[in-house]
Structure 1
């Protein structure tokens, strides 16, 4: 079964559902100069950033992300996300990677950090930390998105200071500033390494249908990603998002739960098979800015 919504496709595969969204919608929502063209079986969408930098998102004819890269005025290109597997298209189940749980050598409260209690330094440390244990290989973005066992190898930040109303993905104007510390940490990380990638995850409580919750959670994630760029100048190309509905509750309850209606951020750079070494090296040849320190 396939359910089409504007900008989103929800697919039933086996006993569950998964969601794919339009990878260019967030860039269009930001305004500015955005354009797309078809080249053979692919679509190239270009978003112009200040200083002559272009963000290029390549999708297939079905809207699925192939790759995203940054192009500088001198023609250099830096790959941020490489999501092309090769061969025949894979089903959802074929993209789910099973791994043993990582062994944690840090306390649970440093593995999953709550913005409501963590200080700026802890949030910065969490969003720049390497995986908590070695991984056997790197993965496509879709493998990361659809594999909780892979994501478990990274630390995460729960933005529990944003309170979503039931059925809503809106962040009220009074709550926008609650994202400032997370935005500062991401911006500092990107200044250190312009190829960083952060996954913004949306979640719901268990009230409602699986399909509605998937769509709602994805909109929550995209809403927060848009605010991080619009209000705090986080480069949009360094963010990607995904909704998970009610699959990963913070509090085990089938009832309404504000704690489960949340957004989570994690650094996935080291999980992705995205960066060709020579492109990384050319990017590092830019003039280096002094490394910012957490405030």
Structure 2
């Protein structure tokens, strides 16, 4: 059994990004809008800020109080859309009460480095070039690290339809027979036992046990839940290690890779807007 170490891989990717940025005359710029006092959201933004500083990406953090009207957020996004020094805009989710669809749709699709703007999701569905959600890119990169030919193999995603949709398309583009199921599917175990690639993103700690994982599977754990002083994934790690061929840890798996791929998207957004740099498409 091999651990797919997202921290190590993310460091390699960030080093490549840093080298690419050093060749640019203008630094790529990322602005993150953070609303409210949620500790997890503040932690995630601080990790993104740290990664930006390490790679040479200009970073701006705009913080708003919890009950800020969404019109104010949308007006701020409009100003960021018009700034030539800001190439990526991200609204940290979840929002404490504002409508996330309205806020995200206000972002210029060319600056939507989180990849959740409806236009980018439509382009992805149509198989056209676009900014792909960073978490999807991170998952794909981790799967690629296994060096396994997965053409014609079975993938099962346990998650909401909203999370799964861009991942589903990307996996099918790679000739994986992919199915999405909910955590409460009555045939859950039957389906997970057939999965050569099992991806779980439900936020239920230790929900998937080794006994319902296919022998030799690639298991990607996207879930993160704080239990006491620990962060725990959706996969029960100890039992999964006895069955899986490859497994992502929590923490240290998908999380660091999502941040690294966000930076990759910022660099790609910079290229799209300026016409300078190398195409960062990796999916």
Q: Pick the TM interval, shorter chain.
A: under 0.3
Bigger fraction of residues in helix = 2
Bigger fraction of residues in strand = 1
What TM-score does the superposition give when structure 2 sets the normalisation length? 0.28
Give the structure, 1 or 2, with the largest relative contact order (CA under 8 Å, sep 6 or more).
2
What TM-score does the superposition give when structure 1 sets the normalisation length? 0.27
